[in-house]
Amino acid sequence: MLKDITLGQYFPGNTVMHRLDPRTKLIMTLIYIVALFIVQSYISYALMAAVLIAGITVSKLKPGIIMKGLKPIIIVVIITAILNLFYSSGNVIAEFWIFKITDAGIRNAVFMVLRIIMLITGTLLLTYTTSPLDLTDGLEKLLNPLKKIKVPVHELSMMMSIALRFIPTLIEETDKIMSAQKARGADFDTGNLFQRARAMLPLLVPLFVSAFRRADDLAVAMESRCYHGGVGRTKMKQLKMKTRDIVTLALGALILAGTITLASLGL
């Protein structure tokens, strides 16, 4: 069951999408999210979906993997759909007991569901095709100007890359401890909420113990290689914008301009 977690997971590949500069991908994702909140009509939604599908096709990700990533948000999507469906004003189409379904309600529900799904898929596209190291590297570079106002950009990005780096390790560790406790008859899958919470104890204690041990080991390993923060630190692999990045960013600008124009035309 833990193997299903795809949070922050990276699927290696060698497509154009994988080779793009992480900064480009970060900016594109940001543009995409902004554009998603600008679009108001079916036509523009179709355009946004087309952009997304193009992105998925270029990166050669299997649809199954995207579906897996979307699984955890199903509940959020359903709740959003229901809230929008029943709590919107507009012309009443159907009515029963205290519930009214309006034309605006249906429209809002469909739009919100599409918006959430496309939003998540867009960000999945980023994390699936960018290695965590590249991602934090790109983020650090993008946020660099904030150093001027004393934001600890390097420290933040280092924390982020360590956290991302350890997600799979901790999942693996959890899996191991779970197997060991299951071998002693622990039961994680049945019982009421209280029983299940209690059943997690044999899992959490060893997990915390080992997480602290790992943190300690890592700190010693970093210090013994003279790590002392970001001051004066250089990079072996310098990020460089290439032609494909410029083309992609131009495309992004076009998408943003397009959605704004369409929205202002009332489409």
Partner 1 sequence: MTPIIKTEGLCHRYSVGTPFERTAIEDVSFEAMRGEFIGVIGHTGSGKSTFIQHLNGLLKPSAGKVYYEGVDIWESKETIRDTRFKVGIVFQYPEYQLFEETVYKDIAFGPRNMKLSEEEVDIRVREAAEFVGIDCSLLPKSPFELSGGQKRRVAIAGVIAMGPSVLILDEPGAGLDPRGRESIIENIRSYHEATNATVIMVTHSMEEIASNVDRIVVFNQGRLAMSGTPREIFSRGDELTQMGLSVPEVTRIAKRLKELGLPVDTSVYTIGQLKDILLSLKGGGRNA
Residues that bind partner 1 (CB under 8 A): 3, 11-13, 62, 64-65, 176-177, 179-187, 201-206, 209-210
Beta-strand ranges (E) seen in 112-236 are: none
Beta-strand ranges (E) seen in the chain are: 92-96, 99-102
Q: Cα–Cα distance between 68 and 70 in angstroms, integer?
A: 5
- Amino acid identity, position 259: T
Nearer to partner 1, 144 or 179 (CB): 179
DSSP state letter for 229:
-
To which H or E segment does residue 148 belong? none
Nearer to partner 1, 80 or 181 (CB): 181
Nearer to partner 1, 72 or 145 (CB): 72
Nearer to partner 1, 80 or 174 (CB): 174
Nearer to partner 1, 204 or 220 (CB): 204
DSSP state letter for 198:
H
Residues in the chain: 267
Q: Is the sign of the CA dihedral 253, 116, 140, 53 positive or negative?
A: negative
Joined tokens for residue 186: 């622990």
Nearest approach in angstroms of CB 163 to partner 1 is 21
Q: Cα–Cα distance between 160 and 240 in angstroms, integer?
A: 22
DSSP state letter for 232:
T
Nearest approach in angstroms of CB 205 to partner 1 is 4
Nearest approach in angstroms of CB 3 to partner 1 is 7
Nearer to partner 1, 95 or 175 (CB): 175
Nearest approach in angstroms of CB 182 to partner 1 is 6
Nearest approach in angstroms of CB 154 to partner 1 is 32
Q: Is the sign of the CA dihedral 170, 171, 174, 179 positive or negative?
A: negative
Joined tokens for residue 259: 């959605």
Nearest approach in angstroms of CB 204 to partner 1 is 8
